[in-house]
Amino acid sequence: FGIATDENFVITTTNRKEVTEDNFRELVQDGVTLYLLQSVDQTLLSATKERIDFLPHYDTLVKSGMYEYYASEGQNPLPFALAELIDNSLSATSRNTGIRSIQIKLLFDDSHGKPAVAVIDNGRGMTSKQLNNWAVYRLSKFTRQGDFESDHSGYVRPLPVPRSLNSDISYFGVGGKQAVFFVGQSARMISKPADSQDVHELVLSKEDF
C-alpha cells in the first residue's frame, strides 16, 4: 500500500468503525469493505463502492405478486406506494429538534434523465449498513439489530391515530422496495448521517436484478 514504516494508519469499516484487536472477528468477515486511512475521520479523496450481497427471503418467490399488496382490497395502488416512500422520511425526521422538512417532487424533464418521483427530507440520515439493510427484501424495520440496525433504530411504534405523522404508514402492508418498483424501474437513495461527513448512495435497478 505504499505506507512508510514511520507512518500511522487505521483500518475502518465503511461505517467508520475502527478495526482493533478486540473487534476484529466481529467486523472483518467475508465480503466486508474496509478503508485504510490516516485517521478515522479522514475525508475521502474520491467516491468508493461497496458491494452488497444478500440471500433474498423466501417470500420473494412465494409472495412476490404485486396483486397481493396493491389490489387485494380493491384500493387505488399509487397512494399506497407513495405512502411507503413518505414513511421513510417521517421516521427519519421524527426526532428533529428544528424544522421538519419533507418534499415530494415529480420530475418529468427528459433532459435530466427519465421521469422520477423524488422524496427529500432533512432527517438524521442513514449509514452504509442501514442502507444495506434497506436493500434486503422483507427485512422488517422493527427487527434489525446491532451494527446492522435500520434507519428506524430506537423507534417505538405509536398508538394508532388517524392521519397522524407518526411514521406508521407502513401499516398499509407494502414494502419500500415493492413501492419503488411499482412506481418505476430503479431506486436511488442518497443519505448523509447527521453525525458524519460521509454521503452514502444506494442504487437498485430492475435491469440489474
Q: How many CA atoms are closer than 13 Å to the CA of 57, on its beta-carbon side?
A: 12
185 compared with 40, residue with greater pLDDT: 40
Please determine, for residue 166, whether its predicted confidence score (pLDDT) is greater than 70: no
Distance CA 177, CA 4 (A): 46
The most confident of the ranges 34-38, 92-96, 184-188 is: 34-38
Distance CA 152, CA 122 (A): 15
pLDDT, mean over the chain:
77
pLDDT in tens, 107-161: 988 777 789 999 999 999 998 888 887 777 655 555 544 444 444 445 455 555 5
Please determine, for residue 63, whether its predicted confidence score (pLDDT) is greater than 80: no
Domain boundaries, the chain: 1-54, 58-147+158-205
The pLDDT, as a whole number, for residue 153 is: 47
pLDDT band (50, 70, 90) for residue 72: low
179: which 3 cell numbers?
A: 413501492
Q: How many CA atoms are closer than 13 Å to the CA of 92, on its beta-carbon side?
A: 25
Please determine, for residue 192, whether its predicted confidence score (pLDDT) is greater than 90: yes
58-147+158-205 in CATH: which number?
3.30.565.10
